[in-house]
Amino acid sequence: MFKVREEVVNVVVAGILQSYGLPNAALVSFDGVPDIYLILRGLRFILETKDQALENTLVPQIKDRVIKNLCELGVGLVYPTDVVADHLSMLTTKHVENRLLKSDLKVIAYGPHGLTARQIIPPTTIKIQQLPELLYRISESAMQDSEMTDAIEAVRKSVDSFSRNIASLGDARKISQQISEALEPK
């Protein structure tokens, strides 16, 4: 049996995401296999693809990337073995793409939760054409309401503190003039 490597699937998935307007880059991980890295709505994603035969290794890898703060969201994409394997010949990237476009894929996603990682969505079966929309939904589900409230409050406190510090410096016009003078080229 001829089988293409995981990197080929990553390249094809990256190209599909690119065609849907989601710019991404290869991120070479510790095992030397490039994962798919993208930023969506200000959140760093790492997409890890796996043959269904290796699915049991996926969750630990995704959790590890989240816990090590390599990303805010680790997403696993499990594809059927027949996407990458053929009994008669080696598959080209076009063959892999065509097979991916027709296959059901399983998606799992994890995000940070304190010093650990929590599941963002239950395992979900999709077609690859649905992946961009699902990534947006995952980004919306990533932060729990309490985490969002805490983040908003932290930003509010920082802005208030900055405003008080600026106000204590004296006349606002004088301060803005000094800032302008400092920023203008000489």
Which one is predicted more confidently, 132 or 182? Answer: 132
> What's residue 144's pLDDT?
58
Terminal-to-terminal C-alpha distance of the chain: 69
- Residues 107/121, Cβ–Cβ less than 8 Å: yes
Strand, helix or coil for residue 121: strand
67-81 pLDDT, tens digit per residue, is 999 999 999 999 999
Whether the CB-CB separation of 44 and 15 falls below 8 Å is answered with no
Question: Average pLDDT in the 158-184 region?
Answer: 75
Task: Report the candidate in 3, 68, 45 with the shortest Cα–Cα distance to residue 131.
Answer: 45
Plot region of 54 (φ>0 → left; ψ -120 to 50 → alpha; else → beta) = alpha
In the prediction, which pLDDT does 31 show? 64
% of the chain surpassing 70 pLDDT: 89
For the full predicted model, state whether its pTM sits above 0.85: no
CB-neighbour burial class of residue 55 (10 A; exposed 0-12, middle 13-18, buried 19+): middle
The structural domains of the chain, with segments of one domain joined by +, span 2-142, 147-183
What DSSP state is assigned to residue 34? E
- The answer to whether 108 touches 57, Cβ cutoff 8 Å, is no
Q: Is the pLDDT of residue 172 over 90?
A: no
pLDDT at position 20, please?
94
Q: Which fold has domain 2-142?
A: Diaminopimelate Epimerase; Chain A, domain 1 (3.10.310)
Asked if residue 42 has pLDDT above 90, the reply is no
